[in-house]
């Protein structure tokens, strides 16, 4: 039985180093915050499982093979009629990235609450929820809420990354979705300022921590990009500087890697600080390679680095 479950959407990623209007060759990979976070945890040794829905198009086998190759339990991955979401990513002349999404009406967005298995969720130790999964459709939003309620009622820790994306919904909808989920959340994982400005109307991470603790959340981890992270609980606030392991190549997936490392530490019974250090090291290594999954580190590399920091 997996210790950590994640619910959400995986997409086919097609990447090119050339601008979108001139790119001729794209490299295929897999993308999605709900997947990234359990890959990060799985590579550290956490037993993970994925709750998602795949379309029965030609990418179905590729996605399933990717999940299983990372040691993720796929016994509750659903298969339905339809297509799997995809996005194209290219590098623009100024070095920034350009995204084009094809996801509206995808199979993952059709998942429904009645398709959840309560026994599977109640047997885990942590249920991770994603704001992107809430945003892709009303039925997916309802399913995320149902998963959190099942977990909460069975004593399973609920973690939540709001991960706001303006392409998917507006700030009002995002705040409403956050507020309906927060009564069931134990670990809150927003970023600042991207999430905090939309959801709390502030770029101050300490204010986010204060407001979230007031909502009843036990632990808040605010990722701050190049400025590290701020971790708060009722009794303490800890600031961590980033720990790049080399030249920064690509920041894609760094936040997911941090959060997956933090949750892994939590499941290992480590302190908030120790868990945050694990996440910090994971993120620092991830940004030294291209893409989200490829450069995510494995247990020995991370733990060796953490030992040098104590």
Confidence of residue 96 (pLDDT cuts 50, 70, 90): low
Taking the chain, what is the end-to-end CA distance rounded to the nearest angstrom? Answer: 32
Which of 170, 120, 131 minimizes the C-alpha distance to 8? 131
Q: Where are the domains of the chain?
A: 4-302
Torsion angles phi and psi, residue 18, rounded to 5 = -95, 155
Q: What is the reported pLDDT for 107?
A: 94
Give the whole-angstrom CA distance, residue 189 versus residue 33. Answer: 12
DSSP code string of 191-209: BTTTTHHHHTS---HHHHH
Look at residue 78 and tell me whether its pLDDT is greater than 70: yes
pLDDT in tens, 150-164: 999 999 999 999 999
Give the whole-angstrom CA distance, residue 31 versus residue 21. Answer: 22
* Cα angle, residue 167 at apex, residues 162 and 172 outer, rounded to 5°: 55
Q: Give the mean pLDDT of 214-222.
A: 96
Q: Give the mean pLDDT of 182-188.
A: 98
Torsion angles phi and psi, residue 255, rounded to 5 = -65, -40
Contact criterion met (CB below 8 Å) for 125 and 156: yes
Give the whole-angstrom CA distance, residue 293 versus residue 67. Answer: 11
Dihedral (CA of 192, 193, 196, 201) sign: positive
Which of 88, 102, 117 minimizes the C-alpha distance to 13? 88
DSSP code string of 32-55: -HHHHHHHHHHHTT--EEEEEEEE
- At the second CATH level, the architecture of 4-302 is 3-Layer(aba) Sandwich (3.40)
Which of 18-32, 103-117, 264-278 is predicted least confidently? Answer: 18-32
Q: What is the reported pLDDT for 290?
A: 81
Which of 156, 162, 131 minimizes the C-alpha distance to 9? 131
Q: What is the reported pLDDT for 142?
A: 98
Q: What is the reported pLDDT for 182?
A: 98
Q: Give the mean pLDDT of 238-261.
A: 86
Q: Give the mean pLDDT of 2-24.
A: 92
E strand or H helix at 263, and its extent? helix 254-267
* Residue 271: CB atoms within 10 Å: 11
Q: What is the reported pLDDT for 94?
A: 63
């Amino acid at each position: 039985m997996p210790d950590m479950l994640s619910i959400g959407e995986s997409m086919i990623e097609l990447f090119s180093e050339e601008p979108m209007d001139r790119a001729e060759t794209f490299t295929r990979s897999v993308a999605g915050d709900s997947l990234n976070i359990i890959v990060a945890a799985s590579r550290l040794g956490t037993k993970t499982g994925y709750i998602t829905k795949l379309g029965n198009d030609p990418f179905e086998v590729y996605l399933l093979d990717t999940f299983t190759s990372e040691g993720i339990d796929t016994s509750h991955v659903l298969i339905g009629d339809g297509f799997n979401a995809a996005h194209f990513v290219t590098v623009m002349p100024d070095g920034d990235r350009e995204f084009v999404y094809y996801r509206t009406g995808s199979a993952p967005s059709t998942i429904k609450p009645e398709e959840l298995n309560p026994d599977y969720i109640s047997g885990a130790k942590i249920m991770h929820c994603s704001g992107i999964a809430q945003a892709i459709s009303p039925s997916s939003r309802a399913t995320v809420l149902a998963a959190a309620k099942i977990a909460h009622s069975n004593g399973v820790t609920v973690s939540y990354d709001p991960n706001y994306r303006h392409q998917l919904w507006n700030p009002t909808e995002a705040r409403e979705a956050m507020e309906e989920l927060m009564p069931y959340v134990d670990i809150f994982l927003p970023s600042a300022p991207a999430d905090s400005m939309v959801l709390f109307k502030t770029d101050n991470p300490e204010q986010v921590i204060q407001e979230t603790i007031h909502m009843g959340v036990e632990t808040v981890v605010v990722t701050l990009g190049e400025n590290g992270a701020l971790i708060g609980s009722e009794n303490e606030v800890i600031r961590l500087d980033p720990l790049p392991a080399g030249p920064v190549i690509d920041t894609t997936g760094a936040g997911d890697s941090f959060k997956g490392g933090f949750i892994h530490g939590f499941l290992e019974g480590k302190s908030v600080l120790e868990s945050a250090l694990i996440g910090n090291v994971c993120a620092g290594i991830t940004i030294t390679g291209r893409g989200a999954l490829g450069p995510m580190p494995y247990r020995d590399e991370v733990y060796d680095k953490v030992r040098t920091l104590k």
